[in-house]
Chain A
Amino acid sequence: MADEGLVSHKRDPLKSSVGNVAAHRRRQHAVTIGKERREAVVRTKRLCRVGISEDSDVSIDNDMVLDEEQSILEAQTSSAVKELKASVAYQGKGVMQRRVSAIRELRCLLSRSEFPPVEAALKAGAVPLLVQCLSFGSPDEQLLEAAWCLTNIAAGKPEETKTLLPALPLLIAHLGEKSSLPVAEQCAWALGNVAGEGEELRNVLLSQGALVPLARMMLPNKGSTVRTAAWALSNLIKGPDPRAATELIRIDGVLDAIARHLRKADEELATEVAWVVVYLSALSNTATSILVKSDVLQLLVERLATSNSLQLLIPVLRSLGNLVAGDTQTSNVLVPGHEITDNAIAALIKCLKSEHRVLKKEAAWVLSNIAAGSIEHKKLIYTSEAVPLLLRLLSTAPFDIRKEAAYALGNFCVAPTEGAGKPTLILEHLVSLVGRGCLPGFIDLVRSADTEAARLGLQFMEMVLRAMPNGEGPKLVEREDGIDAMERFQFHENEDLRNMANGLVDKYFGEDYGLDE
């Protein structure tokens, strides 16, 4: 993680006037990222460009590497590794200094650009040498530089990261409480990158005992080490196996530290801690029940209400959402009538009003889950500002948000499910929502290509057809071209949707429709 706090310069070097090539390179990379996104590969790693400790020598010169320079860089890397090899073998005078210089040289080459010459380094045999440099008793400077090199090697491709396997036990060991803080932090960073690679490596790290020392590093009140440790932890516990999450919450002091950071820490640290809570709440029921009984819920609501940082709001909102979603029917997390519930709804409304798509979508999701609770819950949200916002989102927002708004609005109209059979409707809400023009939005969902959305739309239409007073339902649906929308399912490949649509039309728009007026 680039430690912008310590080093005041910004990322200006990337904007150096190398002209079109630079811009092209960046665009290429951005496009590459875009492609990776589309293939759902989320980069969970962070390249270390700037040193952690204040006295490491920082040289961020022009680090846009042009094509011709790349091969020079690779050649330099190879020779740096060669020199490192020699210095490791060397026994004579000034051996320590020579070794440190050699690693530092390599480190600089691996930190210069967005595309470090990792392959070249690996080919030259860097990893075993770096492992040797991590041996116990080595001077801090050496450990730091070696861990830094490994950090950036691990920030690359899967097969590159896997080469770090021999280094892992040492990196974990140097997290220990006797290590100097910068060393521990750099090792945590490297481990965070390794953990971010995938489940397999995560399991290796967990088996090797990485969890406890990292957790311990998260306990102090402040410092970049705490932040790096939190980030590394979030990568380590993200599963899909829930065991790490369950173990983490049980470690002494962790819950307290999480609450403390959510309450007092600056937004950057709070963000990383919030991501830890995201995974705890999504994966582990144990963690969820522990978190819910603690102050964390309230602290999340407070952060949600007061912060304006998108970086922080996303994990906070999601944590809240996970906690509400994981709620069992018997014990409601947010009890109607309690202040925290009102505050939570207010904070969610703030998110609905945000311009950020993620916040709108996930806030609507959380509201839909709260609305899936008791009748009191439904009434509570129903009388708030949420409903007009949701109605507007249903009509005008991008598709994924519309779907969530639909869930919320529909949930208002249906009483909690009790056993089998037709759930009871809350007629007052249904009539009111239809009166406020929500039907076109649902019918639109019926027209979409998304099966789930079409299903939702049909289910809502069924309620309208069944329950609107004075038999108004069919007329309303017809007026909004609902029959038209259902017709589409005649040739739809999905049998369930066909049956649903057919069933509705058969029942409500049969031959007698319109005859008695």
Chain B
Amino acid sequence: MAMVIENEGLLGFPYWSSARRRFSPDSPFFASGNIERELLAKQIALDLTEDEKHQLQNMENEEGRAVFCPIVGCGARLNSLEGFEDHYNARHTASCSVCSRVYPTSHLLSIHVSEAHDSFFQAKVARGFAMYECLVEGCGLKFKSYKGRQQHLVDKHKFPASFEFFKKAHTSKKQRLKNQRKQAIHKREEASCTMEVEDETIDGLVSAVSKLSTSDSPSSVSFGHRHTRGLTFVPRAVQREKRPDSTPAGMKR
């Protein structure tokens, strides 16, 4: 199959590299052309009707390509690439009504809501209950700390060590201006949004969480044209470390 040389700069980003792509004759790339050849040859023998030709064409369009949803933990099998968009919109766009973060499943969303917006959750954690639920649907295990759950995800479910469930929110300019007025809280929020949630005192957390009430954060952050989704990306110092096990999985052409 074709291989494109990757240029990785400082960022580790593989830049677009202009290169020729060559395929072997039995490559799936050529499959539709091959089918056309044999169909047309078969036509001489079979005299397919227009309907049958269309039926076969439709079958080829699917190209037997079993598309699997790439969202972690989903893996749903889809009929076609076209079907993926529908699937994604239907199943992976659950958003938090408090902070507008978007999650790919309602399971993850509910975990987020408990862990980020529920003061009673933190109260129970402080009292030693195992509250941090495993992210993988069907597992059901719970842990006393965020770290503990994280470790479980890596050990048991082979999540990459860099996988972060809870991240600081990246908000719109409007929202940031609002937040700048509450600098002190914002700074505290920064600290509390890192992984070591259990280092904060209950009081600190509760007050921070209560300040994130619906009166301050709009129920839908307006950003660009989509009005119902908030941004969840943030400068991620953690990510910039080189991971020893980063392999180009799935980067075949």
The residues of A with any CB-CB pair to B shorter than 8 Å are: 1-2, 4, 10-12, 14-15, 23, 26-27, 29-31, 33-35, 37-40, 42-44, 46-47, 49, 114, 238-240, 275, 278-279, 282-283, 310-311, 314-315, 318, 322, 324-327, 356-358, 361-362, 365, 368-369, 371-373, 398-400, 407, 410-411, 413-417, 420-423, 447-452, 455-456, 459-460, 462-463, 478-479, 481, 483-484, 486-488, 490-496, 499-500, 502-507, 509-511, 513-515, 517
CB distance from B64 to the nearest CB of A (A): 4
Alpha-carbon distance between A485 and B215 when the two chains are bound, in angstroms: 29
Asked if B7 contacts A422 (CB within 8 A), the reply is: yes
User: B residues within 8 A CB of A310?
Assistant: 36, 40
CB distance from A481 to the nearest CB of B (A): 6
Instruction: Render B1-36 as a binary contact track against A, CB cut-off 8 A, 1 for contact.
Output: 000010101011111111111111110111111111
Alpha-carbon distance between A463 and B13 when the two chains are bound, in angstroms: 11
User: A residues within 8 A CB of B14?
Assistant: 455, 459, 496, 500
Determine the residue in chain A with the shortest Cβ distance to B71.
A491
Asked if A416 contacts B18 (CB within 8 A), the reply is: yes
Partner of B36, one of A40, A358, A515: A358
Alpha-carbon distance between A420 and B172 when the two chains are bound, in angstroms: 37
Asked if A114 contacts B45 (CB within 8 A), the reply is: yes
Asked if B226 contacts A511 (CB within 8 A), the reply is: no
B232 at interface, CB cutoff 8 A? yes
B203 at interface, CB cutoff 8 A? no
**Contact status of A369 and B20, CB under 8 A, knowing A30-B52, A495-B249:** yes
User: A residues within 8 A CB of B240?
Assistant: 506
Asked if A47 contacts B38 (CB within 8 A), the reply is: no
B55 at interface, CB cutoff 8 A? yes
Asked if A493 contacts B33 (CB within 8 A), the reply is: no
Alpha-carbon distance between A2 and B173 when the two chains are bound, in angstroms: 71
Asked if A365 contacts B231 (CB within 8 A), the reply is: no
CB distance from B39 to the nearest CB of A (A): 8
User: A residues within 8 A CB of B45?
Assistant: 2, 11, 46-47, 49, 114
Asked if A326 contacts B22 (CB within 8 A), the reply is: yes
Asked if B20 contacts A324 (CB within 8 A), the reply is: yes
User: B residues within 8 A CB of A239?
Assistant: 24-26
CB distance from B253 to the nearest CB of A (A): 6
In this complex, the member of A325, A398, A496 whose beta carbon has the largest number of chain B beta carbons within 10 angstroms is: A496
Interface residues of B in 25-74 (CB under 8 A from A): 25-26, 28-42, 44-49, 52, 55-56, 59-64, 67-73
Determine the residue in chain B with the shortest Cβ distance to A33.
B56
Q: Which 6 A-B pairs have the closest CB atoms?
A: A38-B64, A34-B59, A449-B84, A459-B16, A325-B22, A505-B233
B140 at interface, CB cutoff 8 A? no
Alpha-carbon distance between A421 and B72 when the two chains are bound, in angstroms: 32
Alpha-carbon distance between A35 and B58 when the two chains are bound, in angstroms: 12
User: A residues within 8 A CB of B46?
Assistant: 11, 14, 26, 29-30, 114
Partner of A42, one of B13, B38, B48: B38
Interface size class of B (residues with CB under 8 A): 35 or more
The residues of B with any CB-CB pair to A shorter than 8 Å are: 5, 7, 9, 11-26, 28-42, 44-49, 52, 55-56, 59-64, 67-73, 78, 81-82, 84-85, 88, 92, 102-104, 108, 160, 162, 170, 172-173, 176, 223-226, 229, 231-236, 239-240, 246, 248-251, 253
Asked if B231 contacts A487 (CB within 8 A), the reply is: yes
CB distance from B94 to the nearest CB of A (A): 11
Partner of B251, one of A26, A496, A509: A496
Partner of B70, one of A2, A486, A494: A494
CB distance from B43 to the nearest CB of A (A): 8
Partner of A448, one of B44, B49, B84: B84
Alpha-carbon distance between A452 and B232 when the two chains are bound, in angstroms: 24
User: B residues within 8 A CB of A492?
Assistant: 70-72
Alpha-carbon distance between A492 and B67 when the two chains are bound, in angstroms: 14
CB distance from B169 to the nearest CB of A (A): 11
Asked if B13 contacts A504 (CB within 8 A), the reply is: yes
Alpha-carbon distance between A365 and B173 when the two chains are bound, in angstroms: 42
Alpha-carbon distance between A250 and B173 when the two chains are bound, in angstroms: 69
User: B residues within 8 A CB of A494?
Assistant: 70, 249-250
Asked if B55 contacts A414 (CB within 8 A), the reply is: no
Alpha-carbon distance between A240 and B27 when the two chains are bound, in angstroms: 11
Determine the residue in chain B with the shortest Cβ distance to A412.
B18
User: A residues within 8 A CB of B5?
Assistant: 417
Asked if A278 contacts B15 (CB within 8 A), the reply is: no
Partner of B35, one of A15, A37, A325, A495: A37
User: A residues within 8 A CB of B63?
Assistant: 38
Asked if B19 contacts A417 (CB within 8 A), the reply is: yes
Asked if A447 contacts B64 (CB within 8 A), the reply is: no
CB distance from A278 to the nearest CB of B (A): 7
Given contacts A358-B33, A449-B81, 17 further A-B contacts (CB under 8 A): A1-B41, A11-B46, A23-B49, A38-B64, A239-B24, A413-B16, A417-B5, A417-B7, A423-B17, A451-B250, A459-B14, A481-B226, A483-B231, A499-B12, A499-B239, A504-B13, A509-B170
Asked if A462 contacts B15 (CB within 8 A), the reply is: yes
In this complex, the member of B11, B82, B176 whose beta carbon has the largest number of chain A beta carbons within 10 angstroms is: B11
Alpha-carbon distance between A143 and B163 when the two chains are bound, in angstroms: 71
Asked if B44 contacts A486 (CB within 8 A), the reply is: no
Alpha-carbon distance between A431 and B16 when the two chains are bound, in angstroms: 16
Enumerate 16 A-B pairs (CB-CB under 8 Å) in ascending A order. Answer: A1-B44, A26-B52, A27-B55, A37-B59, A39-B64, A282-B23, A407-B21, A448-B85, A449-B78, A455-B251, A462-B16, A479-B225, A490-B233, A495-B246, A506-B236, A507-B11
